[in-house]
Amino acid sequence: MSSSTCKVIVRGKFAPLTEEQRASLLAQADEHDLFAARFTGEGTVTYERPLRTFTYRCLVPVTPDDSEAVVFGKAEEAATAAVRQLGADSTDLHSVSSDLEDMLRRRGR
C-alpha cells in the first residue's frame, strides 16, 4: 500500500477571547504573520491582529484508503491543538487539500 502526502489548509475562527488571551495572541502576532506560513508536518498557524480568524497549514501523510474526511479530520484536530497551544480555542473550521504526488505528476507532464 502506497502512501502520499496532502497539503491541507484549515481556516477557522477564534472562539470568543478573554482580554488575557487577546493580549497573549497579540504579543505573539509577529511570529504568526503570513510570512511565517509553511506546510510542515507539525503545521503552522497564522493570523492577523484583529484576531478574528486564523489559518493552519500542514502536511498530512495519507494512504489510498484514507477518505477526504479522514484527511480533514487529522488536519482539523492538529489545527485545534495548535490554536490551544497558543492559549485560545477555535470554531467554524473549513479545510481544503491537495495531494503533493498528484501535483508533481501533473507538473511533470
pLDDT at 107 (0 to 100): 44
Asked whether the beta carbons of 46 and 36 are under 8 A apart, the reply is yes
Q: Domains of the chain, with CATH numbers?
A: 4-107 (3.30.70)
Q: What is the mean pLDDT of residues 28-32?
A: 95
pLDDT exceeds 70 at position 100: no
Q: Is the full-model pTM beyond 0.85?
A: yes
Q: Report pLDDT digits (tens) over 10-23.
A: 999 999 999 999 99
Residue 4, class by beta-carbon neighbours within 10 Å (0-12 exposed, 13-18 middle, 19+ buried)? Answer: middle
User: Could you give phi then psi for residue 61, rounded to 5 degrees?
Assistant: -70, 135
pLDDT exceeds 90 at position 58: yes
Residue 5, class by beta-carbon neighbours within 10 Å (0-12 exposed, 13-18 middle, 19+ buried)? Answer: middle
Residues 62 and 64: their CA atoms lie apart, in Å, by 7
